Structure 1
Amino acid sequence: MLKLEDTYLHKGKRKALVALLREKGIKSESVLEAINNLPRHFFFDSALISHAYEDKAFPIGEGQTISQPYTVAFQTELLDIQQGDKVLEIGTGSGYQASILHLLGAEVYTIEYQKKLYEGTKRFLGRLGIHMNLFYGDGSEGLPSYAPYDKILVTAGAPIVPNALLKQLKVGGVLVIPVGDRRRQTMLRLTKKSEKQIVREEFDWFAFVPLLGKDGWKR
């Protein structure tokens, strides 16, 4: 079992990573503080742990990745998390992004499509003492039983914006989702002004693993 140690060296590397993210344009001090406070190396396999504070994505098994820190910061900044926000995350993965949302004061509901990854991450977050609502299932259909949500974050590349997610968003709520083909996607922020009016904003191109499921990509 990996020993969870956060040394001065790790803390120094996190400070350097935060400085890099600031240089790249991340402005939210609360997001930067959360990244500075959460040991990213805890979420890495021991073979890759020396790379934990590089601004890159890395494999975590089951064909999934832990997102690049800049991507995590960019998506989180777009969400503009407020204390007590009820947030649905599609694609738990390693649990790193969900943990950032948790540190920002969100009530997190997160769903993972890969059962083995879900089971491992659930055990691991329990070891860290991070308690949130984890589910196994098809994230493209959301979690209607717990809707509505203040914010929804999709951490996989979708071919379309799943209608189920828009339905589960509160009026005034925000959905952040990368949409495109399997190779690259445009980051979208959709704000639900009313049941019939959605304001759509487009941001940079990113490359995510594909969103699988009913309203995602087929295997």
Structure 2
Amino acid sequence: MLAGRNVPKTFWPEAVKWATYVMNRSPTLSVKNMTPEEAWSGNKPTVHHFRVFGCLAFAHIPDAQRTKLDDKSIKCILLGVSDESKAYKLCDPKKQKIIVSRDVIFEEKKVTVETSDDDDESDSDMSEPLNPIQNPSDSDNENQASTSLAPRNRRPPAGLSDYVLGSELDNEEELHNLAIYTPAEDPKTYEEAAKLDIWKNAMDQEMESIKNNDT
């Protein structure tokens, strides 16, 4: 009942209630020569007001509630009959509210949800791309150009701020230091180390440091 008429699933209680309402007023094998409603109440029910559940319905708007330019009816969905009065229970899908009305015109062969001309126009407008299509190669080039970063300046770590990097030495000084600090072979004895100025200076500095620290 719901799927056949595109009725929202939230109205399943109304669908069950309407099906029960119709079955109680229809012939059945459980009760001979009468309907369950007649067997219960003693009154023979009428069925001329039966309509297809979920069909398209147009509820009339009273003149006092509209102007001359307003619509004369509201497009609704049939949900059954009202419990309070002899009227139909309808749903206004646009305003999402329940309407009870006696003055209703039905179109039982039409489904409740239809595609309007406005929807078709909106779909055609949406089918057009909002932005021009770019070739993959062009977009890749633009992405590479936009994401390219300026060269970074290398900075020494904070802990090495007191040291001079090799890149800051000129070529002559760098070669001189390399010649001093890279002897052919390290001395193995005190006598060999004392013959080299670099080792002698290092030992003198160490002795001076020990003397100053009283160690």
Larger strand proportion of the pair = 1
Structure 1 or 2, whichever has the larger Rg, is 2
TM-score by length of 1: 0.19
RCO comparison, higher one (Cα < 8 Å, 6+): 1
Larger helix proportion of the pair = 2
TM-score by length of 2: 0.19
